[in-house]
Amino acid sequence: MTKQIIPGDQWKHFFSDLNHEYAQKLATLEMVPEIEGPQLVAFDQPFGGISTGEHAGHTTITIRLGDASDLTLETPLRVSSEQFARGGGQVVEIEVADTPLTRLYLSQSTS
């Protein structure tokens, strides 16, 4: 499949669908700096959800993995998504100004 850009006015609905489809299934989170390459933040943690909100007049996106792993991204620019090449999951990328690309791998697996 090809990468799909999610318009900003559809983020809440898109995240709600992800939360329903991948609730408590395994997820991996990485930051992808341009020079150093991918850096693992969390591996095979239960997906607790992703949400959008407002903080100090700026849009935020919060990703929850496991019991205590929250990552909040301020002022996101773009959200994109594509299915795994062989199915069984989805990759969500979030671009934020002055921050490495955030990549979330969502699996259909719970173990």
Q: Closest Cα to residue 26, out of 102, 92, 110?
A: 110
Domain boundaries, the chain: 7-107
The predicted model scores a pTM of: 0.90
SS3 label, residue 38: coil
Measured CA to CA, the distance from residue 81 to residue 102 in angstroms comes to 12
Helices then strands (H, E): number in the chain?
1, 8
Q: Closest Cα to residue 50, out of 70, 68, 30, 31?
A: 70
Architecture of domain 7-107: Roll (2.30)
Q: Output phi, psi for 58, to 5 deg.
A: -120, 150
Report residue 109's pLDDT band, with 50, 70 and 90 as the boundaries: confident
Q: What is the pLDDT of residues 28-68, one digit of tens each?
A: 999 998 888 889 999 999 999 999 998 888 899 999 998 76
Q: Which residue has the tokens 């489809």?
A: 21
Report residue 1's pLDDT band, with 50, 70 and 90 as the boundaries: low
Measured CA to CA, the distance from residue 110 to residue 106 in angstroms comes to 10
Q: Which residue has the higher pLDDT, 85 or 107?
A: 107
Q: Closest Cα to residue 81, out of 45, 105, 50, 57?
A: 105
pLDDT of residue 4: 94
